[in-house]
């Protein structure tokens, strides 16, 4: 039954991908990309990768779709007709497909217990997480403790990228014509009504993912992505001017910086308990060098 469902998901993904290519209405294409991400997330769930599935749903079907809607709000809903030359594109796609197929032929068989991924540190993580970390979710334990240095670096990489984007976009000033009031997607009556109703539930679900990440799939990354999607959706539905009044850009930037700085402060707490930086007290017996190697 699982094989049949997996084949159904893969078939639907191909159908939706073709529909995205053939769609001339950009709003419909954006919705189809969200459907594709949900199908991909369902496929990850079938493969017992719940955390990856939730990340795909939050990023692919959540934030990415909202970004597409934002681009549509600043442009047109219909694709401009242009001359199409398929020769070079077909050659590039065919070459990429051949390389991918050749690469997948070298993969280990699905479910093979002797695959290299199962012979590294994964068995040790599965065995020692209940004893050392005391949380059921092994993925959370790996990201927050065993690979804590890796996660800390990723947090500051995201902050650096955000600073770079904001330096290019800048903060709006005054009441210039560029900052004129816009209605966002308010002309989309159904989208406006349904979106406003869904925003509180999206934020509530993001909080659930955040505070339940040690027991179930998800965590801070997925929760932050979900809540950010809700805020961006509110800005799209209400218009840029009203959204800036409710959520000033400088306030959001300050919240982002304080959120990134909270992780080093949290990581330093074990030092007050005679433990190691970024290693929780349960893991004080793990050498620092072993933790650094595990994060590489």
For residue 17, being part of any structural domain is answered with yes
Domain count along the chain: 1
**Residue 67 sits in which domain range?**
1-79
Domain contains 244: no
For 129, residues 6+ apart whose C-beta sits below 8 A from its C-beta are 135, 138, 141, 142
Distance CA(129)–CA(73), nearest Å, equals 47
**Across 264-282, average pLDDT:** 66
Q: Does the residue 13 lie in any domain?
A: yes
Check: CB of residue 259 under 8 Å from CB of residue 228: no
Split at pLDDT 50, 70, 90, the class of 186 is low
Rounded Cα gap, residues 74 and 71, in angstroms: 5
> Minimum mean pLDDT among 268-272, 282-286, 290-294: which range?
290-294
When pLDDT is cut at 50, 70 and 90, the band that residue 146 belongs to is confident
Q: What percent of the chain has pLDDT over 90?
A: 9
Phi, psi of 25 (to 5 degrees): -90, 120
Q: State both tokens at 113.
A: 């217990």
Residue 18 located in a structural domain: yes
Structural domain contains residue 14:
yes
Comparing 171 with 74, the larger pLDDT belongs to 74
Kindly state whether residue 16 falls inside one of the protein's structural domains: yes
- The rounded mean pLDDT for the chain is 78
Is 75 inside a domain boundary?
yes
CB atoms within 10 A of CB 189: 9
Token code pair at residue 276: 């190691």
User: 81: helix, coil or strand?
Assistant: coil
Res 33: pLDDT: 92
Q: 29: which residues sit within 8 A by CB, 6+ positions away? A: 20, 23, 68
pLDDT in tens, 216-255: 787 778 888 888 888 888 888 877 777 778 878 778 778 8
């Amino acid at each position: 039954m699982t094989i049949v469902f997996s084949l159904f998901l893969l078939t639907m993904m191909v159908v939706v991908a073709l529909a995205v290519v053939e769609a001339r209405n950009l709003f419909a294409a954006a919705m189809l990309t969200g459907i594709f991400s949900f199908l991909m997330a369902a496929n990850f769930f079938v493969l017992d990768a719940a955390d990856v599935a939730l990340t795909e749903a939050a990023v692919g079907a959540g934030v990415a779709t909202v970004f597409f809607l934002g681009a549509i709000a600043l442009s047109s809903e219909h694709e401009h007709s242009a001359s199409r030359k398929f020769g070079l594109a077909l050659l590039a796609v065919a070459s990429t497909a051949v390389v991918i197929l050749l690469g997948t032929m070298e993969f280990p068989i699905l479910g093979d217990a002797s695959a290299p991924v199962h012979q590294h540190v994964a068995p040790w993580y599965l065995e020692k997480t209940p004893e050392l970390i005391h949380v059921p979710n092994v993925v959370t334990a790996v990201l927050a403790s065993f690979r804590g240095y890796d996660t800390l670096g990723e947090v500051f990489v995201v902050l650096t990228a955000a600073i770079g984007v904001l330096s290019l976009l800048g903060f709006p000033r005054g009441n210039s014509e560029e900052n004129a009031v816009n209605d966002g997607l308010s002309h989309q009556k159904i989208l406006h009504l349904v979106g406003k109703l869904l925003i509180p539930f999206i934020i509530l679900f993001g909080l659930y993912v955040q505070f339940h990440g040690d027991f179930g799939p998800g965590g801070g990354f997925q929760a932050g992505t979900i809540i950010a999607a809700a805020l961006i959706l509110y800005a799209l539905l209400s218009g840029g001017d009203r959204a800036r009044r409710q959520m000033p850009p400088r306030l959001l930037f300050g919240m982002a910086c304080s959120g990134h700085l909270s992780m080093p402060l949290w990581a330093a707490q074990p030092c007050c308990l005679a433990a190691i930086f970024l290693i929780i007290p349960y893991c004080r017996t793990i050498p620092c060098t072993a933790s650094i190697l595990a994060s590489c």
